[in-house]
Amino acid sequence: MLHAGVDGLEALFIKRATREGDPWSGQIALPGGRRNDGEESLLHTAIRETFEETGLDLAVSGELLGELDELRPRTPLLPPVVVRPYVFSVAEQAPLVLNHEVAEAFWAPLREVYDPARRQEIVVQVPGARLRRPAIGFGEHIIWGMTEHILRTLEATCR
């Protein structure tokens, strides 16, 4: 989700709550989530999940700008999911109402997120392996994994 802020376009990020058995627990993410059985489309899923996680109703206050290519996790031990990112804009930063799945939410200027000085590499410990992954440092947060991949895809699409 994008918003025109004082320092240019800003994106909304969430920090997932820490939950046992959740492989993405505690990570920085973009709003969205799992499709329910019988749900009419992945677009509907994105709108529903964003509302559930943040209280923002994209069906009312969002404008769909487009969708990005499907992505799959690059870490072999994660569930074999397929992610379809949708890009929305909102005219203003409405107050957020976070649910139990979200520990924190913040808006970040894309100009800062895409600053090459913020790029880094992290080591992720998974059962039986240590994996090196690209990441973006933003304040106290490290953006990596699928979220980092989605951001890079969006950056390449906008060029």
pLDDT tens digits, residue range 63-86? 999 999 998 876 666 667 788 999
pTM of the model: 0.91
Q: Quote the pLDDT of residue 79.
A: 67
* Least confident segment among 46-55, 120-129, 141-150: 120-129
Helix (H) / strand (E) containing 65: strand 62-67
Range of the domain at 128: 2-158
What is the pLDDT confidence band of residue 125, given thresholds at 50, 70 and 90?
confident
How many whole angstroms separate alpha carbon 77 and alpha carbon 14?
A: 23
When the pLDDT of each residue in the chain is averaged and rounded to a whole number, the result is 91
Q: Quote the pLDDT of residue 53.
A: 97
How many domains are contained in the chain? 1
146: domain CATH number is: 3.90.79.10
How many whole angstroms separate alpha carbon 81 and alpha carbon 32?
A: 13
